[in-house]
């Protein structure tokens, strides 16, 4: 069969970092069938999609025919998993095919997941099941539509082969697009072996790829650490402002690029709760919703350790330099969080927050949602209606309709302080509501909807619920009547029982 010339590969990782990977090939799938193809992402990547027909796409995205120019390889990485160091993880069932430069000139990785065992597979079978791979599609597209940096799915192909888990499941291969697959764990792998030259090479490669402007900085490696910290502060703040729980923030699942990566046991919260944990293996709540900023900093400390020998010949100096970055992280994070919260509250003026009044206003709103067990997403969305003058839908979310009275009057006073001088405050209210509706989603990928769509696809081969949900989560700010079922929270009892699993 002819191979596809659709990708114009330029494989810098393979070319520049020998010794950081093992060349490896995907295992052939017996009966490939395309379950999902992301046309808009394909266009963004500049793929020559006109030349692609269905069967050829299925063969390619199941790993049976490699596209021209692909140089598949398994990347080496280590990682701290639940706080414990694993010296050798690596791509056990994933392969980087190569990189393409997209239409905007950005370099993007094209990688398989579930394409068979590699030398890093340890006990694993190298495979992936349809459900978890379609989950990566849904959550990645949801995050993308919410404006949150994320890896995205280009395709999912069923392999026609069963995968043995607790049950026998249909197998699939995901094709994932990422700014890169460089992880904190990639640095740890080489640092733990005491290979400072390789850590330096990796850091130089990373700077050239993600932080080109830093190459000429007087302290490029310190600047890299700062840049990664800045991206994580911004990313985790965005997660917190949409109620996203990653679920398995091990250092091998933290991307240097600042994209959200590896959608395994992730979930969106329903009622606001900082202690929310859904992952079946996170029994200590290490990766609970409210812990995510602290865990990001913990992971950055692991990255910082790998860079110490590059920062200064004087170990004490190196530690002092890295510590400064880590100490600055919480304030950096809070700055991003507050910026997002202000937009969600419909506030646009008022920086800086010297007296902490806006941070307290946001904090008290969250405490109110928590105490009254109000749905996080709808609480924010209905606050936009309140800005437009209609408080009924907001009050209906509270068991006691007057519970938000005191907070609402504080918020109104704060809004009024921004509206001074405006001709008609009703007009200001409508404008504020519209601005709030552009940042407070109506539709998120609700857990029960995701599960329902994945079960239909995996158990019955019925992709219709998946496709309908995908359409809904791709327009999260659109309050169209047909999307209303996707905005409904799950019954509290369902959420209380909800458990997520690693995508193995
Ligand atoms: P994850 O939990 O998906 O981030 O994966 C952690 C590590 O386990 C990575 O090194 C994966 O490549 C590896 N892994 C997970 N599932 C499998 C599998 N089914 N076969 C081989 N390796 C796997
Ligand atoms: Mg992972």
Query: Does the pLDDT value for residue 5 go beyond 80?
Result: no
Q: How far is the CA of 81 from the centre of ligand 1 (A)?
A: 12
252 is catalytic: yes
Q: What's the domain count of the chain?
A: 2
For residue 148, being part of any structural domain is answered with: yes
Do 197 and 134 share a domain, yes or no? no
Q: How far is the CA of 88 from the centre of ligand 1 (A)?
A: 11
For residue 366, being part of any structural domain is answered with: no
Q: How confident is the model at residue 1 (pLDDT cuts 50, 70, 90)?
A: very low
For residue 4, being part of any structural domain is answered with: no
Do 162 and 195 share a domain, yes or no? no
**Of 318, 342, 366, which residue sits at a domain end?**
342
pLDDT in tens, 234-272: 999 999 999 999 999 999 999 999 999 999 999 999 999
| CA-wise closest residue to 340 among 464, 448, 238 | 238
Contact 121 CB / ligand 1 (< 6 Å): yes
pLDDT in tens, 47-91: 987 777 889 999 999 999 999 999 999 999 999 999 999 999 999
Do 251 and 145 share a domain, yes or no? no
Question: Ligand 1 pocket: which of 124, 132, 186 to mutate (most atoms <8 Å of CB)?
Answer: 124
Domain extent at residue 162:
12-181
Contact 262 CB / ligand 1 (< 6 Å): yes
Query: Does the pLDDT value for residue 156 go beyond 70?
Result: yes
CA distance 482 to 472: 9
Question: Phi/psi zone of residue 460: left (φ > 0), alpha (ψ -120 to 50 degrees), beta?
Answer: alpha
Query: Does the pLDDT value for residue 426 go beyond 80?
Result: no
**Of 124, 150, 181, which residue sits at a domain end?**
181
Do 223 and 326 share a domain, yes or no? yes
Do 44 and 189 share a domain, yes or no? no
Q: Which pLDDT score, from 0 to 100, does residue 379 have? A: 98
Q: Which pLDDT score, from 0 to 100, does residue 351 have? A: 67
Q: Which pLDDT score, from 0 to 100, does residue 502 have? A: 81
Do 206 and 321 share a domain, yes or no? yes
Do 136 and 196 share a domain, yes or no? no
Do 134 and 105 share a domain, yes or no? yes
Do 82 and 169 share a domain, yes or no? yes
Residue 331 contacts by C-beta under 8 Å, 6 or more apart in sequence? Answer: none
Do 153 and 199 share a domain, yes or no? no
Q: Which pLDDT score, from 0 to 100, does residue 406 have? A: 98
Distances (CA, A) of 119 to 198, 452, 461: 20, 35, 32
Contact 126 CB / ligand 1 (< 6 Å): yes
Do 141 and 237 share a domain, yes or no? no
Contact 211 CB / ligand 1 (< 6 Å): no
Cα 488 → chain centroid: 23
Q: Which pLDDT score, from 0 to 100, does residue 324 have? A: 98
Query: Does the pLDDT value for residue 387 go beyond 90?
Result: yes
Do 51 and 157 share a domain, yes or no? yes
Single out the catalytic residue among 211, 252, 273, 375. Answer: 252
For residue 39, being part of any structural domain is answered with: yes
CB 73 within 8 A of CB 22: yes
**Of 150, 181, 212, which residue sits at a domain end?**
181
Q: How far is the CA of 465 from the centre of ligand 2 (A)?
A: 27
CB 239 within 8 A of CB 249: no
pLDDT in tens, 477-501: 999 999 999 999 998 888 989 999 8
Q: Which pLDDT score, from 0 to 100, does residue 353 have? A: 86
């Amino acid at each position: 069969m002819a191979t596809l010339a659709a990708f114009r590969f330029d494989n810098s990782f393979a070319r520049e970092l020998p010794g950081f990977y093992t060349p490896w090939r995907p295992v052939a799938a017996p009966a490939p069938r395309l379950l999902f193809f992301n046309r808009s992402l394909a266009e963004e990547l500049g793929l020559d999609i006109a030349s692609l027909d269905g069967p050829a796409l299925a063969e390619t995205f199941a790993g049976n025919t490699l596209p021209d120019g692909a140089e598949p390889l398994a990347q080496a990485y280590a990682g701290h998993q639940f706080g414990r160091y694993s010296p050798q993880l690596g791509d056990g069932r994933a392969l980087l095919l190569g990189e393409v430069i997209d239409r905007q000139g950005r370099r993007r990785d094209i990688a398989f997941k579930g394409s068979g065992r590699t030398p890093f597979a340890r006990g694993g079978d190298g495979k992936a099941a349809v459900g978890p791979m379609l989950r990566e599609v849904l959550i990645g597209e949801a995050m993308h539509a919410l404006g949150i940096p994320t890896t995205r799915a280009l395709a999912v192909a069923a392999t026609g082969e069963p995968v043995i888990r607790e049950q026998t499941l249909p197998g699939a291969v995901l094709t994932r697009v990422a700014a890169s697959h460089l992880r904190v764990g990639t640095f740890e792998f080489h640092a733990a072996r005491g290979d400072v030259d390789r850590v330096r090479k990796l850091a130089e490669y990373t700077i050239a790829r993600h932080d080109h402007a830093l190459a000429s900085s007087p302290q490029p490696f310190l600047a890299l650490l700062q840049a990664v910290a800045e991206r994580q502060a911004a990313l985790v703040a965005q997660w917190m402002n949409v109620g996203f729980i990653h679920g398995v923030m091990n250092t091998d699942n933290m991307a240097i690029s600042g994209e959200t990566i590896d959608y395994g046991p992730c979930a969106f919260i329903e009622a606001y709760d900082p202690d929310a944990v859904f992952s079946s293996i996170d029994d200590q709540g290490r990766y609970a919703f409210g812990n995510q900023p602290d865990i990001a900093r913990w992971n950055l400390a692991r990255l910082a350790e790998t860079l110490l020998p590059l920062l200064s010949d004087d170990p004490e100096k190196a530690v002092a330099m890295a510590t400064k970055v880590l100490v600055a992280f919480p304030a950096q994070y809070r700055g991003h969080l507050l910026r997002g919260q202000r937009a969600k509250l419909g506030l646009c003026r008022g920086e800086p927050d010297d007296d902490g009044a806006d941070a307290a206003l946001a904090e008290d709103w969250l405490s109110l949602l928590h105490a009254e067990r109000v749905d996080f997403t709808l609480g924010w969305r209905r606050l936009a209606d309140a800005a437009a003058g209609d408080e009924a839908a907001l009050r209906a979310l509270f068991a006691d309709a007057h519970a938000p009275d005191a907070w609402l009057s504080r918020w109104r006073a704060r809004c009024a302080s921004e509206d001074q001088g405006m001709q008609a405050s009703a007009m200001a209210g409508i404008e504020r509501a519209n601005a709030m509706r552009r940042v407070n989603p109506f539709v998120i990928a609700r857990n029960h909807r995701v599960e329902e769509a994945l079960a239909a696809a995996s158990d019955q081969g019925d992709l219709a619920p998946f496709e309908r949900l995908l359409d809904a989560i791709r327009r999260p700010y659109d309050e169209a009547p047909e999307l209303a079922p996707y905005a409904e929270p799950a019954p509290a009892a369902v959420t209380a029982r909800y458990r997520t699993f690693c995508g193995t």
